[in-house]
Amino acid sequence: MKREIGLFEITSWGVGIILGAGVYVLIGEASGIAGNSVWLSFLIGAMVAVLTGLSYAELSSMFPKEAAEYVYVKTACGCKILSFVIGWLIIVTGTISVSTVALGFAGYFQSLFGFPRLLAAVILIILLSYINFSGIKESTRMNILFTLVEMAGLVFIVSIGAGSLGKVDLLEAPNGIAGILSAAALIFFAYLGFEDIVNIAEETKNPEKTIPKALVLSIVITTGLYILVASVVVSLADWEALGGASAPLAFAASQALGENAFTAMSVVALFATSNTVLIMLVVGSRMIYGMANEGAFPRVLSKLHANTGTPFLAILITMFASIAFVFLGDLELVASLTSFGAFITFAFVNGSLIYIRYRRAELKRPFKVPLNIGKFPVTGFLGLLSCLALVLQFNTVIILSGLLFLLAGLAMYKLSKIRLPTKFKTGRSRPNE
């Protein structure tokens, strides 16, 4: 694949995908759970993201490949079944993520134009899949433009709400610590995306050094903005009203500046959410492409288009799967499923870092996480514990649904290993992996 993006572009990818969804879409749901203390939920989410992001940074400097998590787990434990299931879980939760943000886009679009919500989400996914197919350079240019727009929207919210800070008790938590943690588990969706940077390593210049820097920079930049925005939003609008708003940031802006502000923020939110959908579609298709290259999926899925240089079959699969999840329709449900899958994946990534430190101590590490006791990475261990703790904040339905996805991954692995009769085989044969 073509190496066409540098530190600025890859950091823009990280900032763009992190900022686009949660703060524009889920801050209302989270405020309804955590109350005025929702900023603490963002802070907790940031701490987990930083700990796990550091693990990704070290691992990505060692293995700058597509299908990154699959490679990390496979290298750590040598278990093909487990690495396949983790890769499968990432693909499933990634497609659910696309659906979640597309529904968020559709909520804002409906509030502006009255267009049917589900239809708007489906059309968005199709249009952005075409951009994904057109090439990584085209996708990157669009991402940079949309990232600047969404950052401007957040700066606008902070500027109009700064004068309201101090008018409410920012430590008010109607559901106590449990509510703050539950909101953190949900709002962690807002930080998803930093890990996706590693899955376009093969299209990044000097990825061993560029990817770790971009990971850290994107988390730091977005965390500062998130905490500021969460603080001013509950200062502008009552947290209970935010909990019921389909366009929460636009609603908060309208409390200060009226209907025109609602319209302006809704337009910005369209840019922000569509940007996130684009990046997730790119990353999801690259995950399928990377696993196909590793032999986990049929090799045909790693085929690149002759003109655009993009994995067109993987792009089609990602598009249709994302459209299917749109019809769940429940924003909080699909966001929670995504976060649950992410916590499981991140727990394995942190565990892989610890294991590789001992199992493959001889490997060169261009980036190494701070706070180590000998070979033992303290931040990786804390990242592992924090992910497992937040998994327990979900309700039984989400946990059982997540386990079903894992079982489906096991079934898919078994199906992928079934040997077809010779008369049904096409193309060049290759040994089972």
Our measurement of the distance from residue 98's CA atom to the centroid of its chain's CA atoms, rounded to an integer in Å, reads 9
> Contact, 79 vs 224, CB < 8 A?
no
> In whole angstroms, what is the distance from residue 390 CA to residue 239 CA?
23
pTM of the model: 0.75
Give the mean model confidence (pLDDT) for residues 308-319.
90
Checking if the pLDDT of 174 tops 80, the result is yes
Q: For a pLDDT cut of 90, what percent of the chain falls above it?
A: 23
Residue 294, Cβ density class (10 Å: 0-12 exposed, 13-18 middle, ≥19 buried): buried
Q: How far is CA 279 from CA 81, 203, 401, 409, in A?
A: 28, 14, 25, 24
Encode pLDDT of 286-306 as tens digits.
Answer: 888 888 887 788 888 888 888
Whether the CA torsion 50, 54, 56, 60 is positive or negative: it is positive
Checking if the pLDDT of 402 tops 90, the result is no
Helix, strand, or coil here: 417? Answer: coil
Residue 308 φ then ψ, to 5°: -95, -20
DSSP state, residue 26? I
Task: State both tokens at 83.
Answer: 């690495």
Name the pLDDT band for 342 (thresholds 50, 70, 90): confident
Encode pLDDT of 350-381 as tens digits.
Answer: 999 999 999 888 888 888 888 899 999 999 99
CB neighbours of residue 283 within 10 Å: 27
> In whole angstroms, what is the distance from residue 131 CA to residue 273 CA?
15
Confidence at residue 419, expressed as pLDDT on a 0 to 100 scale: 53
Checking if the pLDDT of 1 tops 60, the result is no
Enumerate domains of the chain plus CATH numbers: 7-415 (1.20.1740.10)
Task: State both tokens at 81.
Answer: 């079944």
Contacts of 421 (CB under 8 A, 6+ apart): none
Give the mean model confidence (pLDDT) for residues 249-260.
87
Which of 125-129, 181-185, 187-191 is the least confident region?
Answer: 187-191
Give the mean model confidence (pLDDT) for residues 44-70.
82
